[in-house]
Amino acid sequence: MKEDKLICFLGPLGTSDHRAIELFSGIGEYVPLPMTSISEIVQTVNYTPGCFGVVPLENSTDGELTTISDKLIFDATDIRIQQECVLAEGICAYGISDISVATTVISHPQILELCSHFIRERGLSTRHATSTSEACRVVANERDVTLIALAPPAVGGRLGLAAYDDTVLDVPEIRTRYVLIGQSIAPASGFDKSVFVVTPAFDAVGALSDVLSSFTKHSVNMLSILSRPLQAKIGLHSFYVTCEGHVSDISLQNTVESLLRAGHSVKHLGSFPRWKGAEVTAPFATLPLGSIEPDDILKKSVPDLLGV
């Protein structure tokens, strides 16, 4: 990658989106360009050759962030995913005095929600901030001993606040998958994944099966699939498919040809190196409550197991 490139992200400086940039490989020197919305980032990258952007696509609490992926799918014509990374962070309680005197906590609304047990157990009132950075700045500026901020260590430590509790999260840590977007296709690395958006030619029983069969026929392993209903035709869906391999692989090229010959529309949203670190996972270590397990069929009939 060229040096002194522009990289857009959801600002201000110091946000998680900004910190994620350092996790991408080969970034080198760059000019950080904070923006006020994901839409602004997507449109800037779409119409500015040589410009890159960072957007979150998945996190461990909300799963796939479809409102953001929709902007890449439906609002841009020349964007490709270049890289992916996963930012894993904890949250600490920061203040200027002993946390025992705190009566109010301030942070981004999502962080407050993820620290609900900590807040409820201490009977704290809440204040909203636009970011964890802003929350820490408020605490640092107001010098109010009864006010604490909830923020990642990289944020609170930078502003010189004291960390009083690092067990405030309801879950072990927050993991967010970010992607670096640009206009070019990343070169093959030998350990890649690709993203395609497939819109079936028809809406009927077997439409999804027909799409999936093209991947199966050419031995392409699918990693995930999301369905997005379209307004243009009631019942018609676009499928957001992530699979193994690079678009330069013959198997993927044959898959795309098979889809097109079947009359389906295909959008290539990028081929890029797979992240080798910790993945984004749901914050649960057990089967969903109420799951029917294979051995249960030996005890009861399916209607009984389903409660019908």
Which of 119, 140, 172 terminates a domain? The answer is: 172
Of the pLDDT bands very low, low, confident and very high (cuts 50, 70, 90), residue 81 is very high
Residue 195: which domain range? 185-282
Positions of E strands within the chain: 5-10, 30-35, 51-59, 63-64, 80-89, 92-95, 104-107, 125-128, 147-151, 162-165, 174-182, 192-199, 222-229, 237-244, 265-273
CATH of the domain at 135: 3.40.190.10
- 288 within domain boundaries: no
Distances (CA, A) of 117 to 89, 162, 171: 18, 21, 10
Which of 118, 145, 172 terminates a domain? The answer is: 172
Q: Which pTM does this prediction carry?
A: 0.86
Mean pLDDT of 213-220: 95
Mean pLDDT of 45-74: 93
Residue 112 has pLDDT above 50, yes or no: yes
